[in-house]
Amino acid sequence: MRLFTKALALLATVVAVVGIGTSPALAATSYSVTESNDVGTQHARAWGSINWTGARSFNIGTAYLRDLACDNQPVFWYIDVDNRWTGTERFWHGGCNTQTSWSNVGASDTFNIRVIVIYVCRDTLFPECDAKSYRNPNVA
């Protein structure tokens, strides 16, 4: 009986370790979003890696923003979560070909986060923005 119990315990440990190793909660998604005008002139770029920490949360370890234009206009980026709410607008006023970064940008919600949309913009009278959406692999 003791041998049977040890065998079951070993099997449970193997299943648990394999399950942890393949968990989609450990999935990371690289992102890169560039704002450009209708003739292709690039003004700003945001990039980093989204770490999906579960069905209801994510974290970006380091989020980067670069001003690609020499036009004296600030650039900014923000995240929209499932068209339910929007994160903080993060601005950069560094100017021509400079960049900055933010650490540990993330969010959690009481509901599943299905999709986040990352916007990157040039701050003009009417902000010019481009965006890309990223799907949470932990939510079906």
The residue type found at 140 is A
Residue 26 to residue 131: CA distance in whole angstroms:
24
More confident residue, 68 or 14: 68
Per-residue confidence (pLDDT) for residue 18, from 0 to 100: 38
Say what the pLDDT of residue 27 is: 77
Encode pLDDT of 70-110 as tens digits: 999 999 999 999 999 999 999 999 999 999 999 999 999 99
pLDDT at 26: 59
Torsion of CA 28, 68, 127, 77, to 10 degrees: 20
Give pTM, 2 decimals: 0.81
Q: Is 57 helix (H, G, I), strand (E, B) or coil?
A: strand
Give the fold, CATH level 3, of 24-135. Immunoglobulin-like (2.60.40)
Task: For the chain, give every domain's residue range.
Answer: 24-135
Residues in the chain: 140
Question: What pLDDT digit, counting tens, does each position of 3-56 carry?
Answer: 333 333 334 433 333 344 444 455 799 999 999 998 999 999 999 999 999 999
48: left (phi over 0), alpha (psi -120 to 50) or beta: left
